[in-house]
Chain A
Amino acid sequence: MLKYTEDHEWLSIADGVATVGITSHAVEQLGDLVFVDLPQVGAALARNDSAATVESVKAASDVYCPLDGEVLEVNEAIVNDPAIVNADPQGAGWFYKLKLANPAEAEALMDEAAYLALVG
């Protein structure tokens, strides 16, 4: 199941675990990323907590946690080479995996068609 947020994150959800990243649209707006700060593995995050920080040449932006959950794994590759996020934001440029506290809550997020309509 692929879901999106108004904060331009995508979630690929399987078996109650969401792989979370930022959308192609977000990456286009941010420009070249030069720094990514990811959450600690094991961290318990609540919806709308700041989960990660990305910095482009231009500015720093927070990446908010879309749902309550626990961080299972983070993508260290993008810390070492933030350009991976620019090159493949919805694939190799994933940020972290979140074990969802209430998987059913994901149903309320946007599907791809709704997100694409939002960003025009």
Chain B
Amino acid sequence: MLDTTSLKTTPLTALNIELGGKMVGFAGYEMPVQFAPGVMKEHLHTRARAGLFDVSHMGQVLLRPKSGKVEDAALALERLVPVDILGVKPGRQRYALFTDARGGILDDLMVANRGDHLYVVVNASCKEQDVAHMRTHLSDLCEVVELTDRALVALQGPEAEAALSALAPEVAAMAFMDVRGVRILGVDCIVSRSGYSGEDGYEVSVPADTAVALVRKLLENPDVQPIGLGARDSLRLEAGLCLYGNDIDTTTTPVAAALEWAVQKVRRSGGTRAGGFPGADVILAEFDQGAPRRRVGIAPEGRAPIRGGTALFADETSTTPVGQITSGGFGPTTETPVAMGYVATALAQSGTRLFAELRGKRLPVTVADLPFITPRYKR
């Protein structure tokens, strides 16, 4: 049995156990790694129908501008991220990165403009430091409010729209990365059309005391099944999405991580709000000169999954690695092993053949374009 004495729970932990979740410790929380069907079936169900994920361990934070003007909160947050936050329109959200003075990545996050304030979602494993970081650097202009009385559930897959719009018809009209306040089961929820699976879907922030009722209601729909963290990981890996702590961390920069798209031109050299974030000198120089290594997809040629930490070599005999796998496993949808990792930039071209050292053998792999599946976001 899992020793849960030191683990925190979410508003949905008891329900996850009741639903047959196999509970593990993750980022300090007691979370379901899988339910009875297992990772493979849960993954495939999400891509075919709709999967429901408890992601209440993630941090939800409001940035309320003391001036009352959301632009002031946006400009304040731009001190910490190399991202155009001012350009996020009301009702929209954008992916962002907290960077450090060396240009490394402290966390990745989602930032939504809610009209008169910003709503931020950060990773569970980083949320205490993220909240402290924002309090330290933004408190002159913003009130930093951690929402500890809300659950967060993700509903992902092609049937997500039908399932959620049965409870709140207006969510059907939302486009990818739209964010709205929506009444569901009589309570105020924050709904975004986004996720971490490569599928269309929603993330719903719901008051803690209504979370169980919402999940039970959604599960009445036979297309909706509860999904554990195991399938959440295989889904995001096929979708080419980074996991903080594996694929990005303080040793990786936005350019090395192939996340240039997250740094809008207005924050790059020559932009009207260029720089002004931690590590700007390093990060902006890499936009001009490139980074020494780069995150790429890795497609193993054989059947063996190649997991995080595995060294990559240029050939079958060389002794100096040219890269390393940061996430890897089996893709239930691709029906092949899938991985991502960092390689020397000269070897980052798709189609480059490399070798992964696994159990003393050098196995051929190919640098591949990400994602491994075709995302089905509703743009």
Contact = CB atoms under 8 A, between A and B. Distances in A.
Interface of A: 31-32, 34-35, 37, 53, 55-60, 79
B40 interface: yes
B47 to A, nearest CB: 14
B39 A32 contact: yes
Contacts of A56: 39
Interface SS of chain B: helix, strand, loop or mixed? mixed
Given A31-B230, A32-B38, A32-B40, 20 more contacts: A31-B34, A32-B41, A34-B40, A34-B305, A34-B337, A35-B303, A35-B304, A35-B305, A35-B330, A35-B337, A37-B304, A37-B359, A56-B39, A57-B38, A57-B43, A58-B33, A58-B39, A58-B230, A60-B305, A79-B303
A53 B306 CA distance: 13
Contacts of A35: 303-305, 330, 337
A53 B40 contact: no
B39 A53 contact: no
Contacts of B32: none
Contact of A34 (B33, B34, B330, B359): B330
A57 B304 contact: no
B234 interface: yes
Contact of A31 (B38, B303, B337): B38
A57 B359 contact: no
Nearest to B300: A35
Given A37-B304, A57-B234, A31 B330 contact: no
A37 B361 CA distance: 12
Given A34-B330, A35-B330, A55 B38 contact: no
Interface residues on B, range: 10 to 19
A36 to B, nearest CB: 9
A57 B335 CA distance: 11
Contacts, number: 43
B307 interface: yes
Contacts of B198: none
Contacts of B330: 34-35, 55, 57
A55 B39 contact: no
Contacts of B39: 31-32, 56-58
Interface in B33-86: 33-34, 38-41, 43
A57 B332 contact: yes
B303 A34 contact: yes
A24 to B, nearest CB: 14
Nearest to A80: B303
Nearest to A83: B40
B329 interface: yes
A53 B41 CA distance: 22
Contacts of B234: 57
Nearest to A37: B304
Nearest to A79: B303
Contacts of A79: 303
B305 A31 contact: no
A55 B305 contact: yes
A35 B177 CA distance: 37
27 contacts: A31-B34, A31-B38, A31-B40, A31-B230, A32-B40, A32-B41, A34-B40, A34-B305, A34-B337, A35-B303, A35-B304, A35-B330, A35-B337, A37-B304, A53-B359, A55-B330, A57-B38, A57-B39, A57-B43, A57-B330, A57-B332, A58-B33, A58-B39, A58-B230, A58-B329, A60-B305, A79-B303
